[in-house]
Structure 1
Amino acid sequence: MGDLIGIGLLILISALFAMSEIAIAASRKIKLRVMADEGNAKAAAVLKLQEQPGAFFAMIQIALNAIAILGGIVGEQALSPYVESVLVMVYQGPLLAQISFLISFFTITSLFILFADLMPKRLAMIMPEAVAVRLVTLMRWVTFALTPLVVFFNGLTNVILRIFKVPAEREDIVTTEDIVAMMDAGAEYGSLQQQEYDLIGNVFDLEARFLSSVMSPRDQIVYFDINEASADIASKIIEHPHNHFLVCNGNLDKLIGSVESKDILRQVLKGDAAKINSEMLEKDIFYLPETLSLSEALNAFKAAAKPFAVVVNEYALVVGIVTVKDLMKGFMGDLITHTGDELIIERDENSWLVDGLTPVVDLAKVLEIDEFPDQMHYETVAGYLIYSMKRIPKRAEYIQYAGFKFEVVDVEGIRVEQLLVSKVTSLAANNNDAQ
């Protein structure tokens, strides 16, 4: 009877070691850091153990192997007499002892596999952090008690790893892919709301997207000429109620400064004619190169404290204008602003009307495409067509990619105004030939 109790204790001890091994290895660092920041000293101990796991795993293997050997020795002696006493009722042949041994061996092995290995490890995988913080203190004391053996085997392992030029310690770096995977899991299980998921995803696009994807392009800039007639100035303010207007001398590439619409409105309210004078003219214009990413542009706005910036290309020509609101909308979307001019309009479940200025990253999310080909060479859907066709597309021309047809439905001069994107019945994925 004492041997059977011994077997039960060995199974229990083996289960504890198996649980601690899996729990400490599977515990998520991010969750442990949160627990440690909240004052959980055991969570901090688990983190420290994960940083230098060599001694811990050496102890685990020493303990598990010792228990397995001891269990095999004790188990056969403990169960064989009982098995033989039962078996003798149906069989008294010469192989009685051998059959009793095999049944005892199979029973002990099954008990160890089920209760000392599989079930404890399954439990540890289900709630690794909870198990780890409960067992970490016990495991540290056992490691200390087995210090001589731990130092020997751990040192020998490190020598072998160095011979084969394998890192002796794990380097944990949380990558963008890791965070995206956590976001996907959170969205799938409902712990992350759709708006939160979209917002976090857009933040990761800040380095990948450039000013050209959010700015108002050159042909949409409303500006004043320094010699503009009063009636024209008033008409532009009424039709385009912006806070600031650029002022130039002839064309946009000869900028003089900017003016606030409220200064002109004061003139009108006083009964004077609307005109631009030197007192209201702000000559300090904030310029940004079009090659800046959205992240770099946000930092530039933060340092300059300006409401808008003129975007220029490498030849110092004006290509657009961008405001802080444009930048924020670039990654926050309708969470902070909403306009009636939607860039992507869903016609039905298989087709969309898309503005030519739509950023390709936004369309890729709607169509659930990983990315467009050679995406670093363009920012907008119109740019994608021009890059793929190597020319300005004409109305009704189209290309196919990833099972979608991108057809030009409206062209204004050399600008692609609108496209019709639709799913094709026969998937022509990765086919970029112009039709």
Structure 2
Amino acid sequence: MSLLTASIFLLLLLALSAFVSAAEIAIAAGRKIKLQIMAKEGDVRAFDVLKMQEHPGSFITVVQVVLNAVAISAGAVGESAISPYLQRLVNNEAVSSVISFVVITSSFSLLADLMPRRLAMSNTETIAVRLVRPMMLLIFLFKPVIWVFDGAANVLFKLFGISTIRQDDMTPEDIYAVMDAGAEAGVLKKQEHHLIENIFDMQERTVTSVMNPRENIVYFDTQTSTEAVVEVMIEQPHNKFLVCHDDDLEHIIGYVESRSFLALVLNQQEVSLTDKALLKPALFVPDTLSLFEVLEMFKSTGADFAVIVNEYGLVVGVITLKDVMSIVMGELVTMEEQAIVQRTDNSWLIDGMTPIEDVVRALDIVNLPRSQNYETISGFMMYMLRKIPKKTDTIEYANYRFEIIATDNLKITQLLVTKFEDTV
């Protein structure tokens, strides 16, 4: 074989190897979501890429067969056609063979492997749709070879019980990762990132994490006088107040809206807490529901207020639509004093009733021990101390120091959390 013929043959093998290497990376690494978008926009080649990703057996077989065949052919041609010319220059057969091997291997590694793969990684979906049709033609031409090798591989996979179906299901962790990458790249603003993160957080958090607890519920007995009701409504400017029999929260008969009640009082009309025109039925929900489920229940019933009941039928708190939306919108819907206040770069003042999810997010702690056993930072302290907490009690966990600085009877009202300085 002449040097010119060998050179042309090697260039053809180089081009074939570069094409297969680029197609392998681009088609395998193509992002399903982006390919689906391209398909909806009218690029039917994206459907071919998605189909090839779902059934990659034939594709992978062709890639390996072609790349191995090209490597063997290039070595054989290089050795037989180029070595004789090099031997005349160096006058040594062994040295000429080594130089021929190094030149051919280096050329194919750089031009047919490294560069095409890097190019495919930087423009994955674009290159994938451009190369998928030629790859389909190559698969058709190598059909007999594919049938043998792919069939043998399938038999072995079945024998060992290994699934080869590509799983592209999106998980919450995948979406979190995409959001974090988008925030770092500047595609998502900080507020947008927190908003989306909060929406997913609603599926994990139960109603008890944001409810108004039982001890803070303001309610009326059916026999409470109008003057006493008005006085309480002025002092406690809530929109809704529960009404109970026998001054017992386990005997709730409904709720009244302060606006409607006070409007009748101002019109000097006779008012009764049991008046059917004022008294509205309360919505009861179990304490195991997530915030997302409660939001769906509010939507389906048209309510914006619910009473939370535990497994023993005892009232543990109440929740409003505003409470749920405050988790999604954060500071945008509440003007109340923040439960977590950062004093310095390494210290925070935290209200004792702050939901543990908010604390974990604010402090950037990966996880807390046995977090299913408590819902607030106070519960975390009680769990870790293994006793009723008192002022000045401290614990250290995950490079943080948690110190109780204020209590009210048996309840923790405020903590100081300090992050230890990193030491080298």
TM-score range, shorter chain: over 0.9
Code of the residue aligned with 1:322 in structure 2: it is: I
19, 31, 34: which one aligns with 1:31: 34
Tell me the alpha carbon deviations over residues 13-69 of structure 1, each in whole angstroms, 9 at most, x when there is no partner: 110001101111111112212222222211111000000010111111121122222
For residues 357 and 140 of structure 1, the distance between their equivalents in structure 2, rounded to whole angstroms, comes to 61
- Cα offset for 1:280? 3.0
For residues 239 and 39 of structure 1, the distance between their equivalents in structure 2, rounded to whole angstroms, comes to 63
Give the equivalent residue in structure 2 for 1:14.
Answer: 17
1:155-194 equivalences under 5 Å are 155-194=151-190
CA RMSD of aligned residues (A): 2.0
- Cα offset for 1:291? 1.9
- Cα offset for 1:408? 1.4
- Cα offset for 1:410? 1.7
What secondary structure sits across from 1:253 in the alignment?
A: helix
- Cα offset for 1:341? 1.5
Give the equivalent residue in structure 2 for 1:234.
Answer: 230
Give the equivalent residue in structure 2 for 1:270.
Answer: 267
For residues 156 and 297 of structure 1, the distance between their equivalents in structure 2, rounded to whole angstroms, comes to 53
Code of the residue aligned with 2:347 in structure 1: it is: S
Give the equivalent residue in structure 2 for 1:430.
Answer: none
8 Å contact kept, 1:257–1:281: no
- Cα offset for 1:426? 8.6
What secondary structure sits across from 1:40 in the alignment?
A: coil
313, 316, 323: which one aligns with 2:313: 316
Structure 2, unmatched stretches of 5+, are: none
1:114-263 equivalences under 5 Å are 114-249=110-245, 250-263=247-260
Give the equivalent residue in structure 1 for 2:323.
Answer: 326
275, 289, 293: which one aligns with 2:290: 293
Matched, 1:57 2:60: yes
Answer with 38-47 or 386-395: which moved more. Answer: 386-395
Give the equivalent residue in structure 1 for 2:346.
Answer: 350
Q: Which runs of structure 1 show a deviation greater than 4 angstroms over 4 or more consecutive aligned residues?
A: 272-275
Q: How many pairs are equivalent?
A: 419
For residues 60 and 205 of structure 1, the distance between their equivalents in structure 2, rounded to whole angstroms, comes to 43
Tell me the alpha carbon deviations over residues 368-405 of structure 1, each in whole angstroms, 9 at most, x when there is no partner: 10121100111111111122223321112122211112
67, 70, 86: which one aligns with 2:73: 70
8 Å contact kept, 1:259–1:280: no
Structure 1, unmatched stretches of 5+, are: 428-435
8 Å contact kept, 1:263–1:280: no
8 Å contact kept, 2:239–2:257: yes
Answer with 137-146 or 403-412: which moved more. Answer: 403-412
For residues 272 and 47 of structure 1, the distance between their equivalents in structure 2, rounded to whole angstroms, comes to 71
For residues 127 and 120 of structure 2, the distance between their equivalents in structure 1, rounded to whole angstroms, comes to 6
Code of the residue aligned with 1:83 in structure 2: it is: L
Answer with 189-198 or 145-154: which moved more. Answer: 189-198
- Cα offset for 1:188? 2.1
Tell me the alpha carbon deviations over residues 206-247 of structure 1, each in whole angstroms, 9 at most, x when there is no partner: 232111111111122222232223333222222333222111
Tell me the alpha carbon deviations over residues 263-309 of structure 1, each in whole angstroms, 9 at most, x when there is no partner: 22222332347653513332521111112222222222222221200
8 Å contact kept, 1:209–1:379: no
Change (3 A) 1:42 1:313: same
79, 82, 89: which one aligns with 1:79: 82
Give the equivalent residue in structure 2 for 1:431.
Answer: none
- Cα offset for 1:355? 0.8
Change (3 A) 1:102 1:423: closer
Code of the residue aligned with 1:311 in structure 2: it is: I
Tell me the alpha carbon deviations over residues 288-337 of structure 1, each in whole angstroms, 9 at most, x when there is no partner: 111222222222222222120011222222211101121121233224x0
Code of the residue aligned with 1:29 in structure 2: it is: K
After TM superposition, the score normalised by the length of structure 2 is 0.93
- Cα offset for 1:135? 0.1
After TM superposition, the score normalised by the length of structure 1 is 0.90
- Cα offset for 1:81? 4.5
Matched, 1:46 2:49: yes
Give the equivalent residue in structure 1 for 2:335.
Answer: 339
8 Å contact kept, 2:261–2:278: no
Q: Percent identity?
A: 45
